[in-house]
Chains A and B, each alone.
Chain A
Amino acid sequence: MEGLIIALFVCLVLLIITKYLSWPVIPFYIIAGIALGASGLNLVQVSESSTFFSELGLIFLLFFMGLEIKPDRILSNQKTFFSSGLIDLNINMLIGFLAAYIIGFTLTESLVIAAAFFISSTAMTVASLVENKKLMMREAETIVWMMVFEDIVLIIFLTLLSTSINNPLGFIGKIAVILLAFYIISHYGKKLIQKAINRDDELPVFLTFAAVVIIAFGSKAIGVPETLMVIAFGTALASTDPAAFEAQARPFKDVFLIIFFVFFGISVDFSGGVPVMLIVALSILAIISKLVSGLLIGKVVHGSKGSGIEIWVNTIGRGEFSIALAALYGSPVVSSAIAAMVIITSIVGSFSAKYSGPLQDLFTRGRKGDPDQVPAGSGETIS
């Protein structure tokens, strides 16, 4: 229990400092975790209670993601959605996978690393767009839809990784029954749910907490992947009153996710074998690979290199979903590689997003007459 106290205290201090400086906080939780844990001072060990809290963080993160997925809205944005999303997916997955495989990871490990390599941090991207006041840029819309695309790829990825089990028929049967139940509840119980979640007593908050936890641990108990079920539950509830559920689930997500991040750091073990230099190289490649995909998306969607730079700087940071993949499927070596990647990319990403103006100048300098050239600050928005 002392471990948890130390970890919470450190997180609190970090949170206050980073909010004051408006830096991204996720990498610092992980750095703090590494410093406190097995690879550092060995002050804090992973315990049963910390594992439980971390698990809650993960399931609330995924539940939240599910709430955001609204199929009808995606279909109304098809063109940009698919072209930017597919470029993002293909380039980054491929580069990530090849790099990991060449470094010497196994096929499955490389696949997990490739997914973590591909998926940018939605939290950091959103925070960077809002805090740096970049919402009006035309690229902002492209970027937020890229994040939705990445979420959907993550769901597909989780599905693929979790179906490799013995009794596929029974497994699929169980999932089908649960999904059907979600549909029936959210469809026929819509009015009832809307009424319950909007009461002003303790019912809404307990309903949200209990439902998510019951579904997560219940799925686990009957051998169905809890990650997918929690996302599916969120998506089902998105047709009732997603804003109210988000408001109720947010405190749980915020609190437990911090514990999840710091204890992920604590569990990371850098003595795993892959040289640190290679891990750093992989992280730098993760930054370059988003530059390549960003430039291509800028060219295809907006016809401008400046747009590509803007997309790049806002999507460099890998974060919560990469860590989630590592925690769910990563071996110790994979986890340490992903931890390093998250730390490096998110710190670089947050600073590059802040100073995207000078960065654009750097990339477009000396190319006057280039039709691609966009002024710094990139206010070239809306037509």
Chain B
Amino acid sequence: MALRSINFPGIGTKYELVTEKDDTIAIFFLKNGNIQMYTLPHDGQTPCVAELTTAEARRLGTIMTGAIMEADKESVEIAFSALSDLRISIHTYVIGKSMAGRCIEDHQIRAKTGVTIIAVSRGDTNIVNPPPSFMFQEGDAVVAIGETDQLKTFEREFMVG
């Protein structure tokens, strides 16, 4: 795997990677902030191109590192080593039929499981720190925070069935 970076005056920086199978990937960080990614198969002549915004590139990068398995099962665990190894997990879920139509308070989520819903993503809008009266709709993606065990309970209580 050979990686080299080249400066293109007036355009930006190019990173070029030749994979073990001899395919070539070239990534250009353009001056306008966008990123162009070219891939060229070892037996091909014409490269394929995708142009990404910074946000899209970051997302792609996260996927490449293996952090995201499935869109509705994205999860991160944070450990604070200074606070006697406090571990907090953040997990995303998609609201199904059984939870839709009622609010956070009705479900008694925190009382039953200890998990807190800290954000909801609905269509193109994000709601951070939704109030207890927040009404779920089917298809909402929610971000839940808690300990791993609490999240497991949450999955058992609300996500199954």
Give the bracket for the number of chain B residues in contact with chain A.
20 to 34
**Interface membership of A303, Cβ < 8 A:** no
What is the number of contacts between chain A and chain B, taking CB atoms within 8 Å? 60
Q: Is the CB of B40 within 8 A of A130?
A: no
Residues of B within 8 A of A133 (CB): 36, 38, 49, 51
B16-35: which have CB < 8 Å to A? 16, 18, 24, 26, 28, 30-31
- B6 & A68 in contact (Cβ 8 Å cutoff): no
Q: Given A130-B36, A135-B36, A135-B38, does the pair A379, B11 have CB atoms closer than 8 Å?
A: no
Q: Is the CB of A135 within 8 A of B10?
A: no
The contact of B10 among A136, A147, A380, by CB within 8 Å, is A147
- Name 26 A/B residue pairs within 8 A (Cβ), A-sorted: A70-B9, A122-B10, A129-B11, A130-B30, A130-B36, A133-B38, A135-B8, A135-B11, A136-B49, A144-B8, A144-B9, A144-B10, A147-B9, A147-B10, A148-B9, A148-B10, A246-B31, A375-B46, A379-B40, A379-B44, A379-B46, A380-B45, A381-B24, A381-B26, A381-B47, A382-B18
Roughly how many angstroms separate A68 CA and B12 CA in the complex, as a whole number? 11
Cβ of B9: which chain A residues have Cβ within 8 Å of it?
Answer: 68, 70, 73, 144-145, 147-148
Chain A residue nearest to B18 in the complex (CB): A382
A68-B10, A382-B40 known; A135-B46 Cβ under 8 A:
no
Q: Which secondary structure dominates where chain B touches chain A?
A: strand
A140 contacts chain B at the CB level, 8 A cutoff: yes
**B7 and A379 contact, CB distance less than 8 A:** no
User: Among the interface residues B6, B24, B46, which one has the most CB atoms of the partner chain A within 10 A?
Assistant: B46
Determine whether the beta carbon of A135 is less than 8 Å from that of B26: yes
Counting CB contacts under 8 A, is A254 at the interface?
no
Among the listed B8, B16, B31, B51, which residue makes an inter-chain contact with A382, where contact means beta carbons less than 8 Å apart? B16
CB atoms of A382 and B26 under 8 A apart: yes
- Apart from A68-B9, A68-B10, A144-B11, what 4 extra A-B contacts exist at CB < 8 Å? A70-B9, A126-B11, A145-B9, A382-B40
- CA–CA, A145 and B14, complex, Å: 14
| A132 and chain B: residue at smallest CB distance | B49
Question: A130 touching B11 by the CB < 8 A rule?
Answer: yes
